[in-house]
């Protein structure tokens, strides 16, 4: 990107980029930090106090300090954003090419599971699952249904970690190959199972659970341990328990 001009020019460029379908909002410093760490193409970052953001980068993320310093420019955030993050910074990044994301999901051999969310409804829950998948080193997060896993509220809840794993929406017949383990109260206790690295780990919607079509496709039904008379766990909690049981990333 070329040299930056005035604050007015920054605002003009922000509004132009924000209107692109392939650009997503990174809300706050941690989202910007994670996106940079994992190779996102960040087009611009804005803050009312760029100096404070540079100090934050030096303290919390020296590995991307130079990138933050290069990108961040002064602009009135209240005129550009529906709400201003407490860290006082926002950025715009290019959404990865869907064809590239799908190819990464289909690549074999797969060394870590794919998390499948079956018709999720809560945007914040999906973002929390993306953070978990990134932290555990899962191959990716796939959603089924009409929810866009790159919705701005999902990206916000994911704290920029959409760029640390593969996030895509697929139909049932587009799911990657591999044994499908569906979480279901009638399934086998997960503590008696070993989840393979190439597993698809499927979780139902917050209200209705696994859909009949995905349940019918499952190779294994799996249940999480739960005290009697407790209805269910939060979606992100269920994903965390399952990925922890799988094993997580190998030690460096």
What is the value of pTM for the model shown? 0.91
Cβ atoms of residues 215 and 173 within 8 Å: no
Residue 73 confidence (pLDDT): 94
Cβ atoms of residues 79 and 59 within 8 Å: no
The tens digit of pLDDT for each residue in 186-207 reads 999 999 999 999 999 999 986 7
If you average pLDDT over every residue of the chain, what do you get?
Answer: 92
- Read off φ and ψ for residue 153, nearest 5 degrees: -70, -30
- How many CB atoms are located within 10 Å of the residue 209 CB? 17
Q: In 3D, which of 167, 195, 181, 171 has the Cα closest to residue 98?
A: 167
* Residue 70: both structure tokens together: 């290069």
The tens digit of pLDDT for each residue in 80-108 reads 998 999 999 999 999 999 888 888 898 88
Q: Could you give the CA distance from residue 240 to residue 67 in angstroms, rounded to a whole number? A: 32
Domains and CATH numbers, the chain: 7-94 (3.30.1330), 98-246 (3.40.1280.10)
Number of H helices, E strands in the chain: 9, 10
Q: Is 249 helix (H, G, I), strand (E, B) or coil?
A: coil
Cβ atoms of residues 165 and 141 within 8 Å: yes
* Residue 140: both structure tokens together: 């990716």
């Amino acid at each position: 990107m070329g040299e930056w001009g005035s604050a007015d020019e920054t605002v003009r460029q922000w509004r132009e980029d924000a209107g692109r379908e392939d650009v997503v909002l990174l809300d706050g410093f941690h989202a910007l930090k994670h996106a940079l760490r994992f190779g996102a193409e960040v087009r611009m970052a804005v803050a009312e106090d760029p100096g404070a953001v540079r100090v934050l980068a030096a303290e919390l993320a020296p590995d991307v300090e130079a990138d933050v310093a290069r990108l961040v420019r002064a602009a009135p955030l209240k005129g550009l954003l529906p709400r201003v993050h407490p860290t006082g910074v926002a950025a715009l990044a290019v959404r990865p090419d869907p064809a590239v994301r799908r190819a990464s999901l289909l690549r074999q051999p797969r060394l870590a599971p794919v998390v499948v969310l079956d018709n999720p409804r809560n945007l914040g829950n999906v973002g929390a699952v993306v953070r978990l998948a990134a932290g555990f080193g899962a191959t990716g997060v796939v959603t089924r249904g009409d929810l866009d896993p790159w919705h701005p509220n999902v990206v916000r809840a994911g704290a920029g970690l959409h760029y640390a794993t593969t996030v895509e929406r697929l139909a049932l017949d587009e799911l990657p190959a591999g044994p499908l383990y569906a979480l279901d109260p009638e399934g086998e206790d997960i503590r008696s199972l070993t989840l393979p690295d190439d597993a698809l780990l499927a979780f139902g919607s917050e209200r209705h659970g696994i859909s009949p079509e995905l349940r019918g496709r499952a190779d294994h039904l799996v249940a999480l341990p739960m005290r009697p008379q407790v209805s269910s766990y939060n979606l992100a909690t269920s994903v965390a328990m399952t990925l922890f049981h799988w094993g997580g990333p190998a030690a460096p």
